[in-house]
């Protein structure tokens, strides 16, 4: 058998596994977005305040931070296949658990119960995300950085597009089936997705050398810098996106459930499409090589003025619906480039044996930013409205842009680790 034939067989098997991993990630992503929209709109309808709604998602973000921090250790102990499908199984349980809550329960019991169910959902989402993104790194040879950028962009972009679809699905199911029946239907559908796990290699992502709990903090300077930038980047998005924007559209502008879900879905789907096409779009802009440090610096600094312009337009009395639709479309395009480049860089900076640990640490920072953004979204919106959320987002983006100045070039880091410099 020739070397070319062996390489073709290996690529074919890698592609098959890539499709299975991506399909599993897609299945959870749709229910994750739908569950978020169901909980947000349902409890807003019950009369919960913005800060109370934000607290419903507090454990989701806190346990996301914990899961990502422990992800490297969990993945090395159990293997990526088990963590991937274990996350999906946990999401099925979280959906079924949430379906039991009723308005007849005491208010405090409702809050604590939903927060607990959301904690399980947060663990499920981040176990699945950590496992799927780490698995992609293991399927691509170290020297094929352009292929890695393309595959990661497709996985990340399609995930966000489907999360947007999940927002729409959640709002439609709430209108058509009601809260409880919508959750039960999603739990049953996601259970079927778990069956694809039988076709993946049993020991996928399971290394002989185990990661100790004391090794979970990244010892890589570039990963630490990238993680700090990621914290502020995603805090900047969620400070207006999680609570402020949907409550503003529903309560202030008077949009229906389907309109709120449809707009958020369109935004996230468009954002995901841009992410998945980031390599091609960067090529059209004159860049024919994988992203470098200057790439992320340019796109992050470009993002900083957009939320400030939206906030200023709203405060000056411009038509709010027009300002939000145009302004957030521009924000989504630029933010998508930033996110796609970030997702590539964390893998480009990681050696195979450290990829699970680095991805876990990096997404711990991501979850930390989402946690800060979620809490601030409810608090700032209740105190200062949507413009206040957008001004805080501006500050967060500026912080991410300044931190990105210290990010090195991935190609140079890879070469140094290989002993070529």
Helix (H) or strand (E) holding 84: helix 80-98
DSSP character string of 247-289: HIIIIIS---HHHHHHHHHHHHHHHHHHHHTHHHHHHHTT--S
DSSP character string of 329-355: HHHHHHHHHHHHHHHHHHHHT--GGGH
pLDDT of the residue at 149:
62
DSSP character string of 137-197: HHHS-TT-HHHHHHHHHHHHHHHHHHHHHHHHHHHHHHHHT-HHHHHHHHHHHHHHHGGGG
The Cα–Cα gap between 113 and 100 comes to: 10
pLDDT of the residue at 303:
94
Ranges of each domain in the chain: 10-196+212-417
Handedness of CA 373, 376, 381, 385 (dihedral sign): negative
Are the beta carbons of 361 and 220 closer than 8 angstroms? no
Give phi and psi for 212, each to the nearest 5.
Answer: -85, 155
DSSP character string of 65-78: HHHHHHHHHHHHHH
CATH number given to 10-196+212-417: 1.20.1250.20
Q: Apex CA 344: angle with CA 338 and CA 349, to 5°?
A: 120
Per-10-residue mean pLDDT of the chain, 421 residues long, equals 45 66 83 92 89 89 82 67 84 95 91 94 86 64 59 68 85 90 93 74 56 58 88 94 88 86 85 76 68 84 94 95 92 88 78 65 83 90 94 96 88 43 33
| Burial label, 183 (beta-carbon count in 10 A; 0-12, 13-18, 19+) | buried
pLDDT of the residue at 229:
93
């Amino acid at each position: 058998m020739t070397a070319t034939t062996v390489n073709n067989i290996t690529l074919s098997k890698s592609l098959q596994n890539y499709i299975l991993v991506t399909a599993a990630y897609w299945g959870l992503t749709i229910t994750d977005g739908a569950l978020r929209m169901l909980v947000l709109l349902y409890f807003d309808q019950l009369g919960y305040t913005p800060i109370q709604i934000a607290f419903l998602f507090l454990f989701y973000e806190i346990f996301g931070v914990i899961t990502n921090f422990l992800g490297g250790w969990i993945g090395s102990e159990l293997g990526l296949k088990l963590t991937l499908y274990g996350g999906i199984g946990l999401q099925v349980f979280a959906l079924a658990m949430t379906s039991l809550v009723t308005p007849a329960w005491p208010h405090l019991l409702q809050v604590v119960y939903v927060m607990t169910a959301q904690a399980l959902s947060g663990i499920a989402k981040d176990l699945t995300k950590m496992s799927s993104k780490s698995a992609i790194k293991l399927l691509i040879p170290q020297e094929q950085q352009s292929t890695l950028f393309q595959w990661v962009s497709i996985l990340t972009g399609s995930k966000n597009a489907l999360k947007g679809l999940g927002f729409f699905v959640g709002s439609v199911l709430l209108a058509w089936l009601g809260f409880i029946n919508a959750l039960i239907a999603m739990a049953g559908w996601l259970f079927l997705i778990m069956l694809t796990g039988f076709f993946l290699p049993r020991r996928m992502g399971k290394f002989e050398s185990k990661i100790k709990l004391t090794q979970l903090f990244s010892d890589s300077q570039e990963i630490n810098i990238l993680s700090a930038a990621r914290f502020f980047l995603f805090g900047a998005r969620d400070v207006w996106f999680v609570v402020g924007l949907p409550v503003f559209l529903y309560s202030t502008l008077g949009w229906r459930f389907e309109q709120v879900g449809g707009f958020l879905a369109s935004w996230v789907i468009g954002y995901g499409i841009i992410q998945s096409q980031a390599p091609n779009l960067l090529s059209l802009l004159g860049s024919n090589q994988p992203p470098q440090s200057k790439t992320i610096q340019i796109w992050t600094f470009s993002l900083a003025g957009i939320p400030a312009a939206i906030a200023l337009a709203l405060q000056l009395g411009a038509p709010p619906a027009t300002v939000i639709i145009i302004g957030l479309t521009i924000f989504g395009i630029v933010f998508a480039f930033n996110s796609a480049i970030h997702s590539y860089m964390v893998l480009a900076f990681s050696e195979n044996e450290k990829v699970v640990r680095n991805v876990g640490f990096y997404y711990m920072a991501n979850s930390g930013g989402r946690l800060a953004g979620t809490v601030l979204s409810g608090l700032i919106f209740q105190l200062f409205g949507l413009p206040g959320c957008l001004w805080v987002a501006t500050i967060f983006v500026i912080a991410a842009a300044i931190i990105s100045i210290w990010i090195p070039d991935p190609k140079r880091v890879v070469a140094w680790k290989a002993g070529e410099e």
